[in-house]
Chain A
Amino acid sequence: MVRYIVKRLALLAVTLLGVLTLTFFVSHVVPGDPARLAAGVRAKPEQVEALRKRLGLDRPLWEQYGRYIAGVVRGDLGESIRTRRPVFADLAEYFPATVELTAFAMFLCLLIGIPLGVISAVRRESVIDHVSRVTSTAAVSMPTFWLGLLLQLLFFRWLQILPATGRLGFYLSPPAHVTGLYVLDSLISGNWTALGDSLVHLVLPGAALAASSMAVITRMTRSSLLEILSLDYIRTARSKGLAERLVILKHALRNALLPSLTVIGLQVGVLLAGAVLIEVVFSWPGIGLYAVQSITFVDFQAILGVTLITALVYSGVNLIVDVLYGVIDPRIHY
């Protein structure tokens, strides 16, 4: 197992290098002069050149690439030309917001998706199964940003029970910084007002973001559970006189969750991608919003930083999923 993990980590490094190399060259061939944009279109040519030199953009591309990769190895992600500070500081500022949002969305997915899938499978063709099928289809086919706007309209404008933007209300200061996740930080510092308020602010963007992944997880759980329930060992378990609850939760679900696990892992990627849109709709100050702004600014270092951290999270989650396979299914050995 340990050897497997080490091997995977080594592979991860290769993947990251590949992703960074690709992004580096792609982002350098798109039109746009970052030095000019950073200096402003009204800046004088000599100012632009001075800035270009300071940012190292006057060097040959290969040299810039070499310097960048060497920097990354040292833990230096360069300086953002838009925000005028190290990319690392920017990521530390914005990434926790995205983590909080996607984690909350994932929590909703699992909390609702798996039980709903189980019920739909066990009570196949029941009302609840039909309702879940229709809502799942709707949730998957609805564009995330549109769902976000609809939720805002319903819960913020008409019902007036949930806020529509930001991570906290207008008059609250964030809890003392520990992790950057407001929910965790307010728990740690015992700031109950901030805790309640940050949870309330998570509901709408979290739900909008979770919807399509939740639908996928529900359908996946349902179909794999149905498949398992038709197997011989389940019939054996039932004929032994085991309580139906035990048959389903202990015998069937554990095996049925295996394919769902892969899907859940992949959904982390989907959620991270969806966060870009949701963050714009809900003015959620996360990495998605940061990425969008960096791209319009041709802010190479920032784009690379976002790519790096996204790739890292995605590969990391996949690794965890693969390791969990072994835990859930003892037949799988690494």
Chain B
Amino acid sequence: MRIRFACCLVALLGVLAVSAIASTPADTLVVGVVEEVTTLDPAIDYTFGSGPLFRAAYERLVTFNTTSGKIEPQLALSWEVSEDGKFYTFHLRQGVTFHDGAAFNAAAVKTAYDRVMAINEGPAWMLTSYVDSIDVLDDATVRFTMKTYPFVPFLRVLSSYWGMCIASPTAITQNAGDDMGKTFFRNHIVGTGPYKLVEWVEGQQMVFERFDGYWGGWAGNHVKRIVLRKVLDTTTMSLLLERGDLDIAYGIPLDELTSLNGKPGVVIGVHDTFTTNMIAMNTVKGPLADVRVRRALSYSFDYASAMEVFAGYTSPLIGQIPTGMPGHDETLPHYLFNLDVAKQLLEEAGYGGGLTLEYTWVTEEPEGRRIGVLWQDALRKIGVDLKVIEVTVAGHWDRVSNIETMPDLANYRWGIDYPDPSSILVPLYHGDSVPPAGYNLSRFADPRVNAVLDESGKEADETKRLQLLAEAQSLLLTGASNIWITAVPVTVCMRSNVQGYVFEPAAFSSFNFYDIYKQ
């Protein structure tokens, strides 16, 4: 009896062992992600969680090449911009079909973008602010008439994942219902991309399979299937990668990487994104309304030591535009840690006797806490008492959107909407972008900065435009509206047999699935 029981137990354990240890199949790429989308609708979604799925299944007219900084064709093969910048005419790729068999053409572009603008949620402002109308010239030619022009970064806007993914016109019209297809597109993806969605078990995983009719063809090395697995706990995610249950693990926190260091078959990847971390200073209320105090604080911040908060994986930000984005300028003057200068400036401003300041950081952006604590130590030496306060993302917006509740100092992150410096400088530093209109938390309003930014949006000559951007950045540094800390790095760790991955800071949460394969 006991022997029989023991045999059964051994057999059961054997079955368990087989089912538990299964490294991923050769033709399937399993990606662990922390964040999951709550809607698949490209007209509504405005989260970083959509990066991987939209890139697998949808396409846009154009894409942004990070290495060259140039706009490249995707569904549009070529384009012309009228002299005054009023018309953008796109010549479309032929022979492209959607996952549901519908043909891609000029009408498809119009249908998809008209829907985004009609729904007018989330990312729609990127179209509604600039586009007046979209016209079908012929089957292969579509023309955008601009509302505000010239607006030089428009092609870069079109390269965004948010709002610019083109969904099937058949799916849009057939499932319009009474809500413009929101119910249908919440759960369905119908694009022209290389992979089509075959299953979404909410809260668990999404499965994509190769779309046989993809215009790019399937010659060469590609995977057949992609599984996006939601793994909330990052410690577990590390374990899964180490064991080979995941091919790629996205978003393991920097300080947890040590557990993966030197593990056989695991390649650790840390990359700087175009998302930046900063501290906004309240330039209209309290002691920080005095530029000398803001400069003193800028000198009191230990930029090099703060990089330890990011486990040393990144470097201090120079100017406001991160490395790799057009407009980034290494030659800009910038603040260096110097407590003597800081103390002197504080005395000049009449705060030699000491000062108490409030600093908030957002729960969901945990680097803010350590940055605050580090800074607190330095500030104490020059008589500044820093109160470090935690706020939720909801509480953060509540505080910063009202000048009465805006703290002296607010740590925050800013991720770009489209890969152009205007997507950082205008919403964060233009005088018209004071909340709730934009994200100019410091309420910095310098007429010259405004003018330069307005001009840079219209300047078609790239060299002249870069000069304007450099001027804007210098003015901002002089005005010391923020303490600019760094570009926020993300981790993309993978098994060593995964090949072909290229990191894209402009769309850091996405993957170039079509080019990725396993050896």
Interface residues of chain A, those whose CB is within 8 Å of chain B, are 30-34, 36-37, 39-45, 47-48, 50-51, 82-85, 93-94, 97, 149, 152-153, 156-157, 160-171, 173-174, 196-197, 200, 280-283, 285, 289-290, 296-298
Do the beta carbons of B239 and A152 come within 8 Å of each other?
A: yes
The contact string, 1 if C-beta is below 8 Å from chain A, for chain B 449-475, is: 000000000000000000000000000
Shortest C-beta distance, A149 to chain B (Å), equals 6
Do the beta carbons of B17 and A160 come within 8 Å of each other?
A: yes
Shortest C-beta distance, A175 to chain B (Å), equals 11
Query: Which of B16, B203, B243 lies in contact with A200, CB distance below 8 A?
Result: B16
Do the beta carbons of A285 and B202 come within 8 Å of each other?
A: yes
The contact string, 1 if C-beta is below 8 Å from chain A, for chain B 421-457, is: 0000001000000001101000000000000000000
Do the beta carbons of A84 and B397 come within 8 Å of each other?
A: no
Q: Does B68 contact A (CB under 8 A)?
A: no
Q: Does more than half of chain A's interface fall in helix, strand or loop, or is it mixed?
A: loop
Query: Taking CB as reference atom, which chain B residue is nearest A32?
Result: B394
Query: Which of A156, A166, A197 lies in contact with B229, CB distance below 8 A?
Result: A166
Do the beta carbons of B201 and A174 come within 8 Å of each other?
A: yes
Shortest C-beta distance, B335 to chain A (Å), equals 27
Complex interface: chain B residues within 8 A of A163 (CB): 19-20
Query: Taking CB as reference atom, which chain B residue is nearest A284?
Result: B203
Query: Taking CB as reference atom, which chain B residue is nearest A193?
Result: B19
Report Cα–Cα, A169/B28, bound state, in Å: 14
Complex interface: chain A residues within 8 A of B391 (CB): 31
Q: Decide: A169 near B240, CB < 8 A? Known: A149-B235, A296-B394.
A: no
Query: Which of B120, B236, B398 lies in contact with A164, CB distance below 8 A?
Result: B236
Interface residues of chain B, those whose CB is within 8 Å of chain A, are 13, 15-17, 19-22, 24-25, 28, 30, 38-39, 41, 44, 46, 120-125, 129, 182-183, 186, 199, 201-205, 227, 229-233, 235-236, 239-240, 242-243, 245, 364, 391-395, 397-399, 401, 417, 427, 436-437, 439
Do the beta carbons of A84 and B205 come within 8 Å of each other?
A: no
Do the beta carbons of B398 and A196 come within 8 Å of each other?
A: no
Do the beta carbons of A43 and B125 come within 8 Å of each other?
A: yes
Do the beta carbons of B186 and A85 come within 8 Å of each other?
A: yes
Query: Taking CB as reference atom, which chain B residue is nearest A97?
Result: B203
Do the beta carbons of B236 and A281 come within 8 Å of each other?
A: yes
Do the beta carbons of B393 and A37 come within 8 Å of each other?
A: yes
Shortest C-beta distance, B116 to chain A (Å), equals 12
Interface centre among A51, A174, A197, A283 (most CB of B within 10 A): A283
A-B contact pairs, 26 of them (CB 8 A): A31-B395, A32-B394, A36-B397, A36-B401, A37-B393, A37-B394, A37-B397, A43-B122, A47-B120, A47-B125, A93-B203, A94-B203, A97-B203, A157-B239, A160-B243, A161-B20, A162-B16, A163-B19, A164-B240, A166-B230, A170-B30, A171-B25, A173-B199, A282-B236, A289-B232, A296-B392
Shortest C-beta distance, B31 to chain A (Å), equals 11
Query: Which of A47, A280, A297 lies in contact with B121, CB distance below 8 A?
Result: A47
Complex interface: chain A residues within 8 A of B417 (CB): 42
Query: Taking CB as reference atom, which chain A residue is nearest B128?
Result: A44
Do the beta carbons of A160 and B21 come within 8 Å of each other?
A: yes
Complex interface: chain B residues within 8 A of A169 (CB): 19, 22
Shortest C-beta distance, A174 to chain B (Å), equals 6
Query: Taking CB as reference atom, which chain A residue is nearest B44?
Result: A84
Q: Decide: A51 near B20, CB < 8 A? Known: A36-B397, A285-B202.
A: no
Complex interface: chain B residues within 8 A of A281 (CB): 232-233, 236
Query: Which of A42, A84, A156, A171 lies in contact with B20, CB distance below 8 A?
Result: A156
Complex interface: chain A residues within 8 A of B20 (CB): 156, 160-163, 200
Q: Decide: A285 near B203, CB < 8 A? Known: A156-B239, A296-B364, A298-B394.
A: yes
Do the beta carbons of B240 and A32 come within 8 Å of each other?
A: no
Report Cα–Cα, A280/B199, bound state, in Å: 22
Contacts A40-B46, A170-B205, A171-B28 supplied; 16 other A-B pairs, CB < 8 Å: A30-B394, A31-B395, A36-B401, A37-B397, A41-B397, A42-B439, A47-B121, A84-B41, A94-B203, A160-B17, A161-B16, A162-B16, A170-B22, A283-B204, A289-B203, A296-B394
Q: Decide: A280 near B232, CB < 8 A? Known: A42-B417, A161-B20, A170-B205.
A: yes
Do the beta carbons of A83 and B39 come within 8 Å of each other?
A: yes
Do the beta carbons of A42 and B236 come within 8 Å of each other?
A: no
Report Cα–Cα, A157/B25, bound state, in Å: 20
Do the beta carbons of A152 and B236 come within 8 Å of each other?
A: yes
Shortest C-beta distance, A230 to chain B (Å), equals 35
Interface centre among B183, B186, B199, B245 (most CB of A within 10 A): B245
Report Cα–Cα, A149/B256, bound state, in Å: 15
Q: Decide: A283 near B201, CB < 8 A? Known: A84-B186, A296-B393.
A: no
Q: Decide: A170 near B245, CB < 8 A? Known: A31-B395, A296-B364.
A: yes
Complex interface: chain B residues within 8 A of A167 (CB): 204
Complex interface: chain B residues within 8 A of A196 (CB): 15, 19
Q: Lowest 9 A-B CB distances belong to which pairs? A: A32-B394, A285-B203, A31-B395, A40-B46, A31-B398, A83-B38, A283-B232, A84-B39, A45-B436
Complex interface: chain B residues within 8 A of A41 (CB): 397, 439
Report Cα–Cα, A157/B201, bound state, in Å: 25
Do the beta carbons of B233 and A168 come within 8 Å of each other?
A: no
Report Cα–Cα, A212/B240, bound state, in Å: 27
Shortest C-beta distance, B29 to chain A (Å), equals 11
Complex interface: chain A residues within 8 A of B227 (CB): 170-171
Do the beta carbons of A42 and B427 come within 8 Å of each other?
A: yes
Complex interface: chain B residues within 8 A of A164 (CB): 236, 239-240
Query: Which of B21, B39, B393, B437 lies in contact with A45, CB distance below 8 A?
Result: B437
Do the beta carbons of B436 and A168 come within 8 Å of each other?
A: no
Shortest C-beta distance, A115 to chain B (Å), equals 17
Complex interface: chain A residues within 8 A of B17 (CB): 160-161
Shortest C-beta distance, A58 to chain B (Å), equals 15
